[in-house]
Structure 1
Amino acid sequence: MSTVEFWYEFGSTYSYLAAERVEGVARVMGVEVCWRPFLLGPIFGAQGWASSPFNLFPIKGANMWRDVERIAAKYHLAWTRPTTLPRNGLVAARVALVGADEGWIANFTRAVFRANFVEDRDIGDPATIADIVVRLGLDPSVMERANTTENKARLKTQTETAVALGIYGAPSFTVDKELFWGHDRMEQAFQWAKAPWM
């Protein structure tokens, strides 16, 4: 049985929804999940986009806000429309990589998403991320370790790996080299990991 890799971007609305649900889906399906933060900015830039497609295409954006609201209500997830979209997830992604090594990536990731999409806090501000680190009872030195040259390079490499896998949006789920894009494909990714049908 394969592992599902969960690729997410901290500025992504649908990544927030997926982060709140992915561990429950993994438990029900009996499949391991691996958390993979990455950056969408370079991927969007390569497509010629200077911002989120939800900002660039207003009709799509309006529907996205309503869609996220419906999904959050369906799964009883807290939701507040942020005053800024997207917010910069760079520092949070670097810290999350440290958490991947130390076993607290899932809790940290959910806390950052809730800061962004429930508390409407600026997750692009390092002070916000430092506050989350303290609230989770983590060593404040995490912030320094996250900003080492080596860790910055790891995030760059992880984003390049996402590109190599064909990822173009978040959240995405991969099973080996099979790509499933979007919150609405999450269950399908876990089903595939358990028993591919092709």
Structure 2
Amino acid sequence: MARQPTLEFWYEFASTYSHLAAHRIEEAAEKAGVSVRWRPFLVGPLFASQGWTTSPFNLFPAKGRNMWRDFERMAASYGLPPITKPDPFPQNSLNAVRVAIFGQDQDWLVPFSKAVFSASFSKGQSIAEPAAVVAILDSLGLDGTQVLRAAASDANKTKLRVSVEEARSRGIFGAPTFLTDDGELFWGNDRMEQALAWASGERPPGLR
């Protein structure tokens, strides 16, 4: 029996378009016959290497205004709750991503990740403070305080740094990013279907 192809989904909790991708990738991947590996990481260090101190949507106001309207349109088209812009934007996602890195091999990673995105972009809640992350974990039936404490361990902090360096070494420069088994990189929520098609073996005519 052939092994099911895998698509890596690299996402950042402060990323608007990661929010959209996170809430639709499971259904789309199932239809495509592709397994998804969720890869939380921090995009801030990658931005810093490009000389950016904040989101490009803040650095370039016209681009930012268009993004927020596009974000609202896309969320509505996917049937997601209305968008609420976090204040400040982008939010500090360090505590949340540490938890996600800690939970990478746990069955609660996906529901936790989706709950973080919903808290930030649908409910307008903070995801920055430890108490906010604990509350999300508690809502999933976990011991949020214990999980957050474990996520703050030196070993887990090292895992997070390694994940950022892996992203950098594999050519990732933003979120969401999708990587196929053969290393093909697709950037952006609007490239998710192309990434899934490539992962499943489909190729555009004349392209290998």
**TM-score in terms of structure 2 length:** 0.93
**Letter matched to residue 21 of structure 2:** A
The match for 2:77 among 50, 74, 78 is 74
The residue number in structure 1 matching 2:63 is 60
The residue number in structure 1 matching 2:159 is 154
**Equivalent pair of 2:11/2:177 in contact (CA under 8 Å):** yes
The residue number in structure 2 matching 1:191 is 197
Secondary structure of the residue aligned to 2:190 is helix
The match for 2:175 among 170, 175, 179 is 170
Alpha-carbon distance in 1 for matches of 2:94, 2:27 = 26
Structure 2 unaligned segments of length 5 or more: list them: none
Q: Structure 1 residue 94 and structure 2 residue 98: aligned?
A: yes
Deviation digits for residues 92-141 of structure 1 (CA, Å, limit 9, x no counterpart): 11101222122211000000001100111111111100000111101231
CA displacement at 1:81 relative to structure 2 = 2.1
Deviation digits for residues 149-184 of structure 1 (CA, Å, limit 9, x no counterpart): 111100110111111111111000001311000000
What is the number of equivalent residue pairs in this alignment? Answer: 198
The match for 1:47 among 50, 55, 69 is 50
Alpha-carbon distance in 2 for matches of 1:196, 1:142 = 40
The match for 2:27 among 24, 29, 38 is 24
**Letter matched to residue 178 of structure 2:** F
RMSD: 1.0
**Letter matched to residue 7 of structure 1:** W
Alpha-carbon distance in 2 for matches of 1:195, 1:165 = 21
Alpha-carbon distance in 2 for matches of 1:65, 1:84 = 14
**Letter matched to residue 158 of structure 1:** S
Structure 1 unaligned segments of length 5 or more: list them: none
**Equivalent pair of 2:5/2:33 in contact (CA under 8 Å):** no
Alpha-carbon distance in 2 for matches of 1:167, 1:93 = 17
Q: Structure 1 residue 106 and structure 2 residue 107: aligned?
A: no
Secondary structure of the residue aligned to 2:141 is coil
Alpha-carbon distance in 2 for matches of 1:157, 1:65 = 31
The residue number in structure 2 matching 1:130 is 134
Alpha-carbon distance in 2 for matches of 1:77, 1:145 = 32
Q: Which has the larger radius of gyration?
A: 2
Higher helix share: 1
Alpha-carbon distance in 2 for matches of 1:82, 1:144 = 25
Alpha-carbon distance in 1 for matches of 2:9, 2:177 = 6
